[in-house]
Amino acid sequence: MTTVPNLKPPAQVAGLTTLDKNLFKKNITVPCLILKNVKISSVLPFVKNYLLKIENFKPVCNVTTGESHVYFNPEIIGAFSDLPPETQKLLNDLCVQLELKPLTLNYENFSIEGVFRAVLPPNVEGMSSFTKVGHIVHVNLREHLVPFKDIIGQVLFDKVPNCRTVVNKVGSIDNTYRNFQMEVLRGENDTQTHVRENKCVFEFDFAKVYWNSRLCTEHERIVNMIESGDVVFDVFAGVGPFSVPLARKKCQVFANDLNPESFKWLNHNFKINKVGENYFKSYNKDGREFILGEVKELLPKFSAKNVFILMNLPALAVDFLTTFVDLFSNDELPEFGKHPVVVVYCFAKGEDFINIAKKSLCEKIGRNVEEKITDVFRVRTTAKFWSKITYGNEKIPALALNPKNSVMGKNKKKLNSVFKVAGAKSLKLKAKAKAVKSELKQINNKNKAKITEIDKELVNLQEKVRNSTGDQKKETKNKTKLPSRQNVTKEVGEKSQDTLKQLNAMQL
């Protein structure tokens, strides 16, 4: 029995802590179609599902004038008989041969996830994901992966497009300015970068400010929720992921951040995004000082407008809510035509995140304000649950919101800067999906082939009828009844439905 060659890196790379590209060299044999004086376009539609698709390799290539080679994935096609009968007939008619060709795989041919699965220990959690912030690739290595940080950094540096720096987070975000210590694993020690989000450009020094690419959908959700002309107080604005796009849509924005570095880049980002100065004003203050000062002073002026107070500091924002308690005396309390909304972020560790978040909020404020909480929304899951709470205190009633699903919601949105590294389970599901998809393609090809054959027979029959004489028309003729295109389509459609049911059963 012939052993099917696998496309994984060789076993000898397991446990490597320093990259040695030579150890990834692997010789295999793969099925290859030899096309001589045959147009690739006449064959490719029937075999494209079986092509050998690996990194930095072209499965279809011109060898010499008049000769082309088409390489198949050996895990799908091992011999000519593995191809559908219709495809076999087509290739035989074109005198196309299938041969086994030697092929050498190198480090450049293996994907990031393929290398990590081969190198890292199989019995522990591997590299689950990484994020890209401009030219910087950012990882959070667990303790058991620290011995492999050199090879992890090198692989990401080599294989992530436009990567110039790979950094690893050291410690947690627990300082005053929300940035974290990091070590450069590979590349330039250059952490000043730029990213694009919500049709805006943001420039900053990643080592000195807080930026999380995983929150781009949450930023977009809030920006879309707030209308042009609304008023926004951004208590912990950072470099402006909320404030800048809101000011661009002509909201009146008052943005604050305690970190001098964030304040510098916040103003810079307002400028490079050409935000009119009449739509924003920035402050470099402590959050409490900003609430007790600017928020209290300006709220009465906007009592007839929609006002949103954003508090995106999940580790500490709940502690700042006490500042709103008795912010105005009874004599000072404005007559709000539209009630302001406080949007506060917090961590909630546990499955019942809604009640955990509500309880934490009430305990911090020192009174039961559950009736004032108009919505609790889970933004995303980290090592803890991060829940978003919209809250209005006794003096500032809340406006009910209608949030949409976000990163961890039902309508998931792919984040271009966040990369998942597939695990064993997801790879098995992908393999099943690939097989079913291939079956659907084969059914579709069969359908097309049958329809083409029927069309040819109909054309021939029409030609015979035209050439028939009047006397011949009187004679009784035995005619073969041809299947209609409708019946063929129906028959193949039923097979397609069965295959689709397999897809649904796998919940792909």
Bind-site residues: 219, 257-258, 286-287, 312
Q: How many CB atoms lie within 10 A of CB 447?
A: 18
Q: Is 274 left (phi over 0), alpha (psi -120 to 50) or beta?
A: left
- Residue 13 half-sphere exposure toward CB, CA atoms < 13 A: 24
* CB 244 within 8 Å of CB 269: yes
Q: Is 455 left (phi over 0), alpha (psi -120 to 50) or beta?
A: alpha
Question: Structure tokens of 34?
Answer: 């030899």
148-159: b (≥16 Cβ within 10 Å) or e: bbebbbbbbbbb
CA distances for 122 relative to 109, 196, 433, angstroms: 21, 36, 24
Annotated binding site for S-adenosyl-L-methionine: 219, 257-258, 286-287, 312
Rounded distance between C-alpha atoms, residue 172 and residue 334, angstroms: 41
The CA-to-CA distance between both ends of the chain, in Å, stands at 33
- The residue written with tokens 């709000």 in the block is 336
Rg of the chain taking only CA atoms, in angstroms: 32
Residue partners of 464: CB distance under 8 A and separation at least 6? none
- Distance, C-alpha 94 to centroid of its chain: 43
Question: Structure tokens of 53?
Answer: 């698709």
**What are the residues facing 253 on neighbouring strands?**
232, 280
- Residue 307 half-sphere exposure toward CB, CA atoms < 13 A: 23
Rounded distance between C-alpha atoms, residue 494 and residue 99, angstroms: 35
| Three-class SS of 277-333 | HHHEEEECCCHHHHHHHHHHHHHHHHCCCCEEEEECCCCCHHHHHHHHCCCCCCCCC
* CB 323 within 8 Å of CB 294: no
Rounded distance between C-alpha atoms, residue 30 and residue 75, angstroms: 9
* CB 78 within 8 Å of CB 31: yes
